[in-house]
Copies of this chain bind each other. A is one copy, B any other.
Amino acid sequence: MTPQSGSLAPLFDPKTVAIIGASDNMLKFGGRPIRFMREGNYTGTVYPVNPKGGMIQGLQAYKNIRDVPETVDMCVVTVPAPLVVAAVKDCVEAGVRSVVIFSSGFSEVDEQGVQWQAELDAIAKNSDTRLVGPNCMGVLNAASHAVGTFASSFERGWPKVGPISILSQSGAVGGHIMVLARERGIGIRNWITTGNEVDVDVADCIAYCAEDPDTKVIAAYMEGTKKPEKLMQAFAAARANGKAIVMMKVGASEVGAVAANSHTASLAGADAIYDAMFRQYGVCRVYSMDEMLDVAAAAAAGQFPNRNRLGIVTISGGIGVLTSDIAALHGLEVPELPEKTQKTLKALMPLAAVRNPVDTTAQMLNDMPVFEESLRTMLRDGDCDAILVFLSTIGFSERMMVQIREVLERVRADFPDELMILSMVSLPADREYLESLKYLVIEDPNRAIRAIAALVGFGRSFVKGGTGKLPPLPADAIAPPRRALSELEAGEILAKAGLPMAPGRLANSADDAARAAMEMGYPVVMKIASPDIQHKSDIGGVKLNLQSVDEVRAGYQAIMAAVGQHAKGAAIDGVLVAPMISGGVETILGVHRDPVFGPVVLFGLGGIFVEVLKDVTFRIAPFDLEEAHRMIDEVRGRAMLDGVRGQAPSDVDALAQALSQLSVYAAAHADVIESIDINPFLVKAKGDGAIAVDALILTQET
């Protein structure tokens, strides 16, 4: 009996459903699921359970779940909180495969509830029975109409069956989204709300849907997770199977409560790490329920271009400008069409603008063959990855729509796989018909473009596939020892881990320092090395830009004298001698062990970029070179690395290499490393590499 080992198939697609607390009253939680299943022609078996026995809604009721004559796939528990633990124990004894607990009154309420929930937790850990909830709105299979929810909204009808599964921690939000989807005619497969998540959580549900052949798109709502690794595995599985995940994660405005004991940590709000994780796994993050459904519905059509060239055909010049603006905001290119294509279009429509956006003017609609041939030209010779067609309010003209439907039907027949989006008002029947031809119909052009951008994002993520090839750790890489580490030790450890560190040597006499300087070449810097001295330069413990043996000797004496005077009694390891490195673009690389996510890598440009603008970006370790490049491209000050004020472009490859290498090292020793700060990390001109000047490692207390 592995903890939480049971499959979720009996939950999402049950053949036998029992209801503990079953009722004849349609208004009661124990009455509704039975009624819904009857009305929805659920073909599985439904077992009402009620201590009174007898008949409930025309079905034979059982006094206890243990009395039910066959193994139950899903049992819904609707009894009040004080009775839940006993009911669930009965379920486990009866071999029920999954239990959905509607009841509230658990950890969300008081100490008694916390205790009951702990009992449920123990039951889940020690059985194969999967528990959903408590304090949830339950589960629905929209195809079979297996109903494990008390949501009253089915009174207005069932959602259409389709490839989108909706998974939500919040019952209210999940219910709201399902109703919106139904009203918009968006097809749903699985629907679940996970509530207090004593066992089954959103990550489990994503993992299930990643393998569910009937789910193509996963639309999820979450407030947080304590098991990001599970979540990432689920994301990876979905990506591997080409399934799009649309994620609404709320809580961005709560600045993270991460215990901040390093520079990196103080910048890493929890939401920023979620955001990094979503980007890392190609999850499309959305910020409203409208946006979620727009993107999910678009993804359901299964067309995912991996380039971003958008062709726009519009009957309004103004909408052409508007859509170009919005495309730019969403990172879509609206490229000038090939010359030949422009010529063909110009021959068709002498008054049209043909560069892209193609503004046909409203005249096009008076000439259907021209409309058709324009579309064909764009599709055949436009070199675009998606075509947006703006038809304004034409959908309200029956006369026009007859002709437009015919054109679009013929065009789709010859271009079965092209991504085409119609932005227009439309009557439901027309929209349904056009969607059956795999046109996306999205009334508002801004929302259409946002959805296209999401599809491109998915396409690129699917092409990229997994985490890619991680750089290996060198053979002599070692874990940092669990104690305070000097700057010199930190540098040596990171150098062994494959990072380009400035060499340094500890000198214990002026002679020793002079020898070290001669070996590494002038100029050099010297710093007091002591675990007890924090602000070295403040007390005269640092000498920069020493040019000769005399200066080095004098520097050594001066440092020791200053330390003797200002830091009496400090333990002194010696004086660190290192080459004076200057030039290059100052950056910061960091690692922070997040209590939830584990090692997180930070990147930012130095100075005000980090300190004033908080212009940093994160990734969860480990990640490959490509991901490191994406990370670098995300900071606002990116142009610094392209060379400003006449400077040469920087060695971004070396920077990406270092970030990826650092991430691999951080992941390999996640159990020891508390934080790493490499600051500054100087990125030299292209071809000249990069080098870390200063580094600090904090290890976890044992």
Contacts and interface: CB of A to CB of B under 8 A. Distances in A.
A183 B425 contact: yes
Contacts of A160: none
Interface residues of A, number: 63
Contacts of A319: 170, 172-173, 176
Interface in A113-166: 152-153, 155-156
Contacts of A328: 252-253
Interface string A496-536: 00000000000000000000000000000000000000000
B613 A637 contact: yes
B444 A176 contact: no
A397 interface: yes
A93 interface: no
A585 to B, nearest CB: 11
A612 interface: yes
A223 B318 contact: yes
B318 A287 contact: no
A362 B135 CA distance: 12
Interface stretch (A33-41, A234-242, A431-439, A638-646): A638-646
Nearest to A135: B361
A316 interface: yes
A317 B193 CA distance: 14
A374 interface: no
Contact of A644 (B172, B176, B250, B608): B608
B644 A221 contact: no
A109 interface: yes
A421 B246 CA distance: 28
Contact of A173 (B155, B253, B287, B316): B316
Contacts of A318: 168-170, 172-173, 221, 223, 250
A322 interface: yes
B176 A392 contact: yes
Contact of A425 (B180, B223, B316, B393): B180
Interface in A18-67: none
A252 B176 CA distance: 35
Given A172-B362, A317-B170, A318-B172, A396 B179 contact: yes
A108 B540 CA distance: 73
B317 A152 contact: no
Interface string A663-674: 000000000000
A656 B448 CA distance: 42
A324 interface: yes
A7 interface: no
Given A170-B317, A290-B444, A179 B393 contact: yes
A290 B172 contact: no
Nearest to A611: B644
Nearest to A424: B176
Nearest to A288: B446
Contact of A170 (B175, B252, B316): B316
B179 A425 contact: yes
A397 B152 contact: yes
Given A397-B152, A645-B611, A251 B173 contact: no
Contacts of A396: 153, 155-156, 179
A543 to B, nearest CB: 22
Interface in A454-470: none
A153 B393 contact: yes
Contacts of A645: 611
Nearest to A642: B612
Interface in A262-312: 287-290
A30 to B, nearest CB: 16
Contacts of A221: 318
A351 B179 CA distance: 26
A283 B298 CA distance: 34
A379 to B, nearest CB: 23
A412 interface: no
A254 to B, nearest CB: 8
A479 interface: no
A223 to B, nearest CB: 6
Contacts of A322: 173, 248, 250
A218 to B, nearest CB: 18
Contacts of A324: 253
Contacts of A172: 315-319, 362, 392
Nearest to A334: B253
Interface string A312-352: 00011111011011111100000000000000000000010
A636 interface: yes
Contacts of A288: 326, 444-447
A326 B287 contact: yes
A644 to B, nearest CB: 5
A175 B396 CA distance: 13
A393 B172 CA distance: 9
A351 B608 contact: no
A155 B395 CA distance: 13
Nearest to A639: B612
A252 B321 CA distance: 9
A292 B174 CA distance: 28
Contacts of A287: 325-326, 446
A456 B79 CA distance: 47
B393 A176 contact: yes
Interface in A191-235: 221, 223
A250 B425 contact: no
Contacts of A636: 613, 636
A608 B610 CA distance: 13
Given A322-B250, A393-B153, A316 B176 contact: yes
Contacts of A248: 322
Nearest to A153: B393
A155 B400 CA distance: 13
A101 B444 CA distance: 29
Given A168-B318, A251-B325, A290-B447, 8 more contacts: A153-B396, A170-B316, A250-B318, A252-B325, A252-B328, A253-B329, A608-B609, A611-B644
20 contacts: A155-B396, A169-B318, A170-B316, A172-B315, A172-B319, A173-B322, A175-B393, A179-B392, A179-B396, A179-B425, A183-B425, A248-B322, A250-B321, A252-B328, A287-B325, A288-B444, A612-B637, A612-B640, A613-B637, A613-B639
